[in-house]
Structure 1
Amino acid sequence: MDRYPTVADVAESARRLVSRFPGTCRLRRIGTSRAGRPISMLSVGHGPRHVLVVAGPHPDEPAGGATGIALAQRVARGDRLSAATDPSLVTWDVVLCLDPDGAALSEGLAEATAGAAPDGRSGPTLESYYRTAFRPVAAEQPEWAPIESRQLPESQALFRVIDELRPFLQCSLHNVEAGGTWVQLTRALPGLAAPFQASAAEIGIPVQHGTFDALYWENPSPGVHVLPPPDSTDRLAAGSAEIGLSTWCAPLRYGGVTAIVEVPLWATDMADDPSPHPDAARVLSDLAGLVRDGGRQVTALLDKARGFLPPARDSPRRRVLEWMADGLYDLVAESWTPLARQAAEASGDGDPRRLSTAQLCALDVVARRQPLRAAGLLLRLLEQSDDAAAPGLHRELDELFTAWCTDFERALGLRWVPVSSQVEHQARTVVAAAESALRIVR
């Protein structure tokens, strides 16, 4: 496997499984997207307990569809190496793509990231990725929209399935552009850490020690983060105080747990370096400047193009650009102010306020990716415009974009993770989570 499957590829693979295992596999439509696209779910097995796997929650994170099919194939073949994959004991329900509208706007991503060498030393570039990837505003992301007080049909479809199946485990399949692999849990799974870490080591993917998404969560083991109690809002990232309203937390009301499984597209050895950084406060200041400066440069070009771009109400890409320009870059930078203050006050290597190289690496990824996401979207809008000013603005932005991508790859020493490795590790982690969760509920 040297490329990600498209939504159509995943759907076709699901149909073939139903044809091959008609007594074991079923395919049904569980909802309809805002644009009228089907949201389908493949169920494998007839066990009384359910594992719910959610692929495609973010359209710029493409490995989940392949992972979902790989898991379905394993269960359909009757893999009884563990109770969790025994189809007579556990039914596996795979949502093939939760955000098909977003996936349509990331059309071309599979082709842009295809053709990596088997050894992973060469392959796609950040340029090819950011030129095609699309990520909607937070209020249009199905898992996150309820936090933003939006009731999307995609979110409602997932809530209905959770209420119907009452899964003991929900696994949400994600990618991060660069870094290492980690898992976020809504409740502790004590048996997960060892097989998760063993899989990463065997496949050659670094474990992310500290991550931007769960910077203040409980961290019982490297790469494993557990959501703090609902009343610990000071330990949540900016903008996530109402995380209990998300689809991630819905299985909790039935005693279930959610595992968000993150796998990198590009890896860096800095991700698993837990050594204290000698100058964290300065690095945080530099990163805050990086995200602000990049954001200002993209926004300045957006200002020049606003008069001829499609209106935000008609263009999801334009909506993202306006959302990012409206304070997102500053929000990201300002969220690191407490960390910088703590780092400056830290006295020695044993001081818990010291930030590690891995933690700063995770924040470095965030600082660099925000302007790149915006630049990729604006480049596509400029390419589609027939206004006389568009080519000149495109050339100016393209020069910035290329320089930023090159600097990103060099600064973090990025290496491509083959698609097959991403999928194998993600699938192994999901099975390990299911085995651990099943021991708790049995």
Structure 2
Amino acid sequence: MRGPDAYPTVSGVAAAARVLTQRHPDLCRMRLAGESRAGRPLWLLSVGHGSRHVLVVAGPHPDEQAGGATALWLAEHAVWDRHRQAEADVTWDFLLCLDPDGTVLNETGPAGPRPPAVHYRHTYRPAAAEQPEWAGSFRVPGDELPETHALLAVIDDLRPFLQCSLHGTDVGGSWVQLTADVPGLAEPFGKYAAELDIPVQTGTYDALYWNGSGPGVYVLPPPGTRERFPSEPENAAGSTWGRPHRHGGLTALVEVPMWATRRVADPSPHPDPAHAVAVLATRLRKDGATTSAALDRARPLLSERAANSPLLRGVEQAVGAFQGLADDFDALAVDSPVPLTMAHVAALDIASRRIPLRASGMLLRLLDEDGHGVGDPAGDPGRLRSRLERRLDAGARDLVTALDARWVPVGDQVELQARTVLAAAGLLK
């Protein structure tokens, strides 16, 4: 089920799903689950007629673009495997893109392999309060984003025994996060990753405080215990991940990398983790000061429209994260929840590098949108753009070369994600 080495667009995924329903009207159907903040449709594709539901959510983060293709892969598989799915009394449901507004903003760049700098030059990472999965951490019940409200309604309607949220990372390996354990998942997940030559990430930034359930598989810790760094306000209890538990289900997040590095799969103890993490904290503070200064210089150049852009809010979130995260890294150097391995330090290194790259890329996009893409290179906009572009080019190149990372074909990203979802569903019979 491999396609071209490119991510499909939001409209392309919806069109392909519509064709599938036309070809198999006895098995497939589409309905509108809601609308985005900008009025884009949130499409739900269902395959099968079983009473037990697996809900697959694509596009929870707009800069993680493999999920739409994975949803189509799984939908076609469910059609092909219709008899086994009927015997298992399973219906597969696919929310084809949870954040279409944000994902469309990421479609300005190349759909397939691209230099890392080009990737960050076209990226859009929303502020946490504008991410449909996480927004509940910042809002009171009844005041959800329309996308969040739609997803919660779908979950309450379908009562899935498994919700799979399709995520990705720019540089790293593949891993799974679970809101409740799925015993035995690590074995097939590791097997599929090995067959596709994608490293299993045994040390993660995202799940540093989570419990291990086998290599690359992490389980949400019990309520009342730490799950994220202190500076990060998001929490799983306020997210959409916990909603299936109301109905006896659970959520699995499957992460796949765009560029893979084996550094995140090295389980050997780091020889001096305290020093390594302290160095990362120092770099975070330096990058934070530089990025904050660039934002301050850009503000007077931005129009009123740009000043209200989600891109600017994304930059502001990134700039505001540097100091707190650096403090978290300093604390980690003194007291870590786990013995830090080479993989852990590599994952922390990646996380600390990507934040300024995202901020610089989004700031450049804001200048572009306001007509500062051309003009006098010696003027204020020209000098600022030159500095940002040089910083972006050098930082993106260093990120990939320092980690010895390689591009993972989109088909491989999709296949690993899809096969891992199938394995999780199969283990929850």
**TM-score computed with the length of structure 1 as normaliser:** 0.91
Spell out the pairing of 1:56-67 with structure 2 (5 A cutoff): 56-67=59-70
The answer to whether the 8 Å contact 2:134/2:235 transfers is no
Residue-by-residue CA offset, 1:363-416 (whole Å, 9 max, x unaligned)? 111100000000000111122334653222111111111111111111100100
Aligned partner letter, 1:104 = V
Structure 2 residue 301 is matched with structure 1 residue 323 = no
**AA of the residue aligned to 1:66:** A
Is the counterpart of residue 147 in structure 1 residue 137 in structure 2? yes
Aligned-partner residue type, residue 15 of structure 2: E
The match for 1:95 is 95
Shift of 1:177: 0.7
Contact 1:291–1:333 (8 Å) recurs in 2: yes
User: In the TM superposition, what are the counterparts of 1:420-435 in structure 2 within 5 Å?
Assistant: 420-435=411-426
Counterpart CA distance in 2 for 1:235 and 1:424 is: 29
Shift of 1:205: 0.4
- Cα distance in 2, alignment partners of residues 242 and 402 from structure 1: 33
Q: How does 1:119-134 map to 2 (within 5 A)?
A: 123-134=113-124
Residue 313 of structure 1, CA deviation: 5.8
- Quick one: distance in 2 between partners of 1:201 and 1:168? 28
Structure 2: how far apart are the matches of 1:333 and 1:263?
A: 26
Q: How many percent of aligned residue pairs carry the same amino acid?
A: 50
Q: 1:342 to 1:35 in 2, by over 3 A?
A: same
Aligned to 1:365: 350
Q: Aligned equivalents of 1:77 and 1:353: distance in 2?
A: 44
Partner Cα distance (1:331, 1:427) in 2: 35
Counterpart of 1:348 in structure 2 is none
Structure 2 counterparts to residues 304-319 of structure 1, below 5 A = 304-311=297-304, 314-319=308-313
SS at match of 1:184: strand
Look up the match of 1:185: 178
The aligned length equals 415
Superposed displacement of residue 241, structure 1 = 6.4
RMSD: 1.6
Q: 1:79 to 1:273 in 2, by over 3 A?
A: farther
Listed as ranges, the matches of 1:283-298 within 5 Å are: 283-298=276-291
CA distance in 1, matches of 2:307, 2:294: 20
184-193 or 328-337, which moves further after superposition? 328-337
What SS does the corresponding residue of 1:393 show, helix, strand or coil? helix
Structure 1 residues 143-184: Cα deviation after superposition (integer angstroms, max 9, x where no partner):
000011161000000000000000000000000111110000
Partner of 1:237: 229
CA shift, 1:88, in A, is 6.5
Q: Counterparts of 1:386 and 1:45 in 2: how far apart (Å)?
A: 50
Q: Which moved more, 1:150-159 or 1:376-385?
A: 376-385
Q: Distance in 2 between matches of 1:79 and 1:135?
A: 37
User: Once the two structures are superposed, what CA deviation does each residue of 1:168-201 show, in whole Å capped at 9, x if it has no partner?
Assistant: 0000000011111000000000021111110001
**One-letter amino acid of the counterpart of residue 161, structure 2:** F
Correspondent of 1:273 among 260, 263, 266: 266
Write the letter of the residue equivalent to 1:412: L
TM-score normalised by length of structure 2: 0.93
Structure 1 pair 170/240, CA: closer, same or farther in 2 (3 Å)?
farther
* SS of equivalent to 2:300: coil
SS of equivalent residue, structure 1 residue 176: strand
Whether the aligned pair in 1 keeps the contact of 2:185 and 2:424 (CA below 8 Å) is yes
Where does structure 1 lack aligned partners over 5 or more consecutive residues? 115-122, 344-351
In 1, distance between residues paired with 2:29 and 2:209?
Answer: 40
Query: 1:101 Cα deviation (Å)?
Result: 0.9
Contact 2:291–2:360 (CA under 8 A) maintained in structure 1? yes
Would the aligned equivalents of 2:228 and 2:235 in 1 still touch at CA under 8 Å?
no
Range moving further from structure 2, 352-361 or 215-224: 352-361
Match of 1:396 in 2: 387
Which runs of 5 or more residues in structure 2 are unaligned?
Answer: 373-378
SS of residue in 1 equivalent to 2:349: helix
CA contact (8 A) 2:269 2:342 kept: yes
Quote the residue 2:376 is aligned against.
none
- The alpha carbon displacement at 1:282 in A equals 1.2
Q: Is the 8 A contact 1:310 1:318 kept in 2?
A: no
